[in-house]
A = this chain, B = another copy of it.
Amino acid sequence: MAEELQVVPARRGRAVRLAKGQAIQIINTHGSQVVDSWAFNAQDPGEFMSMEHSRGAMLRVNPQLGDTLRSNRRRPMLTLVEDNSGGIHDTLIAACDRYRYEQLGHVGHHDSCTDNLAHALASLGVTGAETPSPLNLFMNIPVGADGSVSFQPPVSTPGSHVRLKAEMDLIVVFSACPQDLVPVNGADCMPRDAHYTID
């Protein structure tokens, strides 16, 4: 039973409930959009998807097809069951926040993935105690042989997607990253809509 196409508007976040066994397909509609992603135990938001716990279990810095992201209690949360985006995602970099934009020289309000997470959770009546390090879908942060990292445009193509299967009842949150000062959302620094379907 495929739901209709839903939007994650450019610069905004969305929270959705996902029952165990359901899957969510996140579509990089324009190909260039990073989608910061989080998951929380639907019964207890103190249990959340943790990149630092997931890396140790996956034995990889970035999830590949078949890999399972784990919680801060080391339990399976989401499994990557489809990926035709090029397989480049990031687990290393924090969500953008107002401090990041201040450091980049922005003055005044700027949307951020950190605020989007809080607002999206609030839309479901949930308060997150913290901002876990996100799974940055489609984000291209290559790690060099010397341990260096760099911020590069996505390699994903328009309409490509990943599909994540819920391993427990979850609240998942997606933010179409509003970063427009460095080219993580494409060389033109233009945040765009992403879309999702649940089945």
| Chain A interface residues toward B at CB < 8 A | 50-53, 55-56, 59-62, 72-75, 92-94, 97, 99-100, 103, 129-131, 133, 143, 145, 147-150
Residues of B within 8 A of A129 (CB): 129-130
Q: Do A60 and B149 touch (CB < 8 A)?
A: yes
| Minimum CB–CB distance for A163 against chain B, Å | 20
9 inter-chain pairs at a CB distance below 8 angstroms, sorted by A residue, are A50-B94, A55-B92, A55-B93, A56-B93, A56-B94, A61-B147, A72-B94, A92-B92, A143-B143
Residues of B within 8 A of A147 (CB): 60-62, 143
Docked Cα-Cα span, A145 to B61, in Å, equals: 11
Docked Cα-Cα span, A100 to B59, in Å, equals: 14
Docked Cα-Cα span, A56 to B143, in Å, equals: 12
Q: Do A61 and B149 touch (CB < 8 A)?
A: yes
